[in-house]
Copies of this chain bind each other. A is one copy, B any other.
Amino acid sequence: MKLLSSLIVLSCLSTPLAAAEATHIPDAAVRTAEQLRDRALGDDTAYQFVTALTTEIGPRLASGDNDAKARAWVIAKFKTFGFDKVYSEPASYPKWVRRHESGEIISPYPQRLVLTALGHSFGTPAGGLSAEVIRFDNLAALKAADPALVKGKIVYIGFHMQPHRDGADYSTASSIRVDGPPAAAAKGAAAYLLRSAGTDAHERIAHTGVTGFENATAHGIPAAALSNPDADQLERELASGKPVTVKLDLDVGFDGEYTGANVIGELTGSKKPHEIVAMGGHLDSWDPGTGAIDDGAGVAIVAGAAHLIAQLPQRPERTIRVIAFANEEAGVYGAKAYANAHAADVAHHLLGSESDFGAAPVWRMSASVKPQARAAIAQIAAVLKPLGVEYDEKREGAGGPDLAEMHKKGMAAMTLLQDGTHYFDWHHTANDTLDKIDPKELAKNVAVYAAWTYMAAQAQGDFGSAPGAFAKDKSEE
C-alpha cells in the first residue's frame, strides 16, 4: 500500500505523458521506420551476435559459472554497438545447481531413461531413490487423489503437447511442470516425473524448466522430465499391468543465494531522454543447450534493432532502452528486480515489448495501450504488415515474460508473437542450439523491433503508461 500511494503521486507528476489527444506518429518517423525495417532485412548483426554468444559462452544457467561470464560478454559487446550508455542493475535469486542426473526403470523391464531434472528440483538421497510409479491423467486428478495412494510413490503425468502457432498447449504443460511437483510433495510423493513439456515426439532429449519450489525451505521432492520416447516406454511398461519401479539419481539442488544483474544498453533520447521505449530479451538460458532460441535470439534481436537505430544520423527523440534480463527462467527474477527498481518510473516507460519466443517471424501483434493511442499502434501495425504481422486489435499485449512485470505496474505494452510451431520442439533442451535459427527469419524480427521502437520513440503523445493503468489485463503470459 505504501508503494501504491507513492506511485499515485508520481502518476500526477507524469501528466505531460498523459495528454488526452490522440497519439500520432509523424510521417517522417513512419518513413524512417520503413527504411529501418527494410535495412534490417539485409543486416546480419543479430545473427552474428547470437552466433558469437552461443559459441563463445554457450549455456547460461542463471547462478551458474556462465551467468557472470555472459554478462561481461554482453557488456563488452554492447559497448561496440553504438549505445550511449551500457550498465547493469543487480538482481538476486537462489543459486541452483545440476551436478548429475540419471534414471532407469528397474522393473518389470529394466530400461535406461533419458530425463532431466527440473529447475529448482530437490535432489535424491545419495545413491538414488527407487519407488513405484503411480500415473495420473492430469493435474486435477493428482490434486483430487487420496494421499494414501500417492505417499511414497513416484507420481507421473504424461501430457503430450501438440504444436500450435501460438504455443497454446504450453499453459497446460507448464502447469503440470510447475504445479505438479508441489502438489505431489504435499501428498507425500517420493518424487515426480512428467512427460517433457515439448512438442517433439521422437527425440530422446528431455525438456527442463522450472518447477514450483521457490527455495531450499520449500517442501521439495526430486522432479524430472522424461523425453517423449522414454515417456512412451514408461507408459508401455505401466500398460503391462505389472508394478513399475523407477530409480532416480538426481544430484541437484539449491545452494545459497546469487546476485547477478540485468544488462542495459541505451540510445539516449535527443529531446526527451527521460522517456523510455523499452525492449528486451533474457540473457540466461537453461543449461543443457546453448540458449540460442531461448533466448539468445531475443537479446540478439533487440540489440540488433538498437544497433540499426544507432546508425541513423540522429538519435530518436526518446531514449531507446535495451534490457538483457537476468534469470527469467527460474522465476523472472531479473524482471522483478527491474520492475521494483523502476516502479516509480513506470509512467516514463512509454511502451515496452520483449522478444522471448524463439527466432521465427512475428505473425501477430497486440497491444495494451490507452484508447487514444490505438491509432498510433495501427500506424506501427501498417509498417509491420509487409513483414507478415497481423494486428489483432481485440487482444491485449503483455510485453513478454519479463516486461510483463513492468506492464503489471502500468507500462503500456505490446505482444509481438513469433511463430511458435516448432519452438517447443527444442525449448529448454540440449537441442536449443544455433542451427535452429534461420538468419533471414531472425532479421525479420530485427525489422519488427527496429521499426516499432523507432516509431514509439518519435510518437507525438504517449501510450497510456501510468501506475496501475492496465490492472484489468488478463495477461497471456
Within 8 A of B (CB), among A221-250: 228-229, 232-233, 236-237
**In the complex, which residues of chain B have a beta carbon less than 8 angstroms from the beta carbon of A109?**
55-58
Q: Does A203 contact B (CB under 8 A)?
A: yes
A51 to chain B, nearest CB (A): 7
Contact B237 A114 (CB under 8 A): no
State which of A149-157, A429-437, A449-457 sits at the interface with chain B: A429-437
Contact B290 A433 (CB under 8 A): no
8 Å CB contact of A59 from B112, B290, B434, B436: B112
**In the complex, which residues of chain B have a beta carbon less than 8 angstroms from the beta carbon of A57?**
109
Q: Does A274 contact B (CB under 8 A)?
A: no
8 Å CB contact of A431 from B204, B236, B429: B204
CA distance A289 to B56 in the complex (A): 32
Q: Does A134 contact B (CB under 8 A)?
A: no
Q: Does A388 contact B (CB under 8 A)?
A: no
**In the complex, which residues of chain B have a beta carbon less than 8 angstroms from the beta carbon of A59?**
112
Contact B433 A55 (CB under 8 A): no
Q: Does A118 contact B (CB under 8 A)?
A: no
Cβ-closest chain B residue relative to A111: B58
CA distance A59 to B230 in the complex (A): 13
CA distance A59 to B109 in the complex (A): 12
CA distance A435 to B229 in the complex (A): 7
Cβ-closest chain B residue relative to A228: B435
Known: A51-B236, A111-B290, A236-B51. A203 touches B431 (CB 8 A): yes
Residues of chain A having any CB pair with chain B under 8 Å: 51, 55-59, 109-112, 114, 201-205, 228-229, 232-233, 236-237, 289-290, 426, 429-431, 433-436
Determine how many copies of this chain the complex contains: 2
Contact B435 A201 (CB under 8 A): yes
Contact A232 B434 (CB under 8 A): yes
CA distance A56 to B111 in the complex (A): 8
29 contacts between A and B (CB under 8 A): A51-B236, A55-B109, A55-B111, A55-B233, A55-B236, A56-B109, A57-B109, A58-B109, A58-B111, A59-B112, A114-B430, A201-B435, A202-B426, A202-B433, A202-B436, A203-B203, A203-B205, A203-B431, A204-B205, A204-B429, A204-B430, A204-B431, A204-B433, A229-B435, A232-B433, A232-B434, A233-B290, A233-B433, A233-B434
Which 7 residue pairs of A and B lie closest in terms of their CB atoms, listed nearest first? A204-B430, A229-B433, A56-B109, A55-B236, A58-B111, A202-B435, A229-B435
A195 to chain B, nearest CB (A): 13
CA distance A202 to B433 in the complex (A): 8
A55 to chain B, nearest CB (A): 5
**In the complex, which residues of chain B have a beta carbon less than 8 angstroms from the beta carbon of A233?**
55, 290, 433-434
CA distance A332 to B260 in the complex (A): 56
Further pairs besides A202-B426, A204-B430: 16, Cβ < 8 Å: A55-B111, A58-B109, A58-B110, A59-B112, A201-B435, A202-B435, A202-B436, A203-B205, A204-B205, A204-B433, A228-B435, A229-B431, A229-B433, A232-B434, A232-B435, A233-B433
**In the complex, which residues of chain B have a beta carbon less than 8 angstroms from the beta carbon of A55?**
109, 111, 233, 236-237
**In the complex, which residues of chain B have a beta carbon less than 8 angstroms from the beta carbon of A202?**
426, 431, 433, 435-436
A255 to chain B, nearest CB (A): 20
A70 to chain B, nearest CB (A): 12
A205 to chain B, nearest CB (A): 7
CA distance A386 to B232 in the complex (A): 33
**In the complex, which residues of chain B have a beta carbon less than 8 angstroms from the beta carbon of A433?**
202, 204, 229, 232-233
A355 to chain B, nearest CB (A): 21
A304 to chain B, nearest CB (A): 19
Cβ-closest chain B residue relative to A105: B58
CA distance A444 to B59 in the complex (A): 45
Cβ-closest chain B residue relative to A292: B229
Cβ-closest chain B residue relative to A434: B232
CA distance A167 to B217 in the complex (A): 55
Cβ-closest chain B residue relative to A110: B58
Cβ-closest chain B residue relative to A114: B430
Cβ-closest chain B residue relative to A200: B203
CA distance A433 to B200 in the complex (A): 14
A245 to chain B, nearest CB (A): 15
CA distance A112 to B430 in the complex (A): 10
A8 to chain B, nearest CB (A): 50
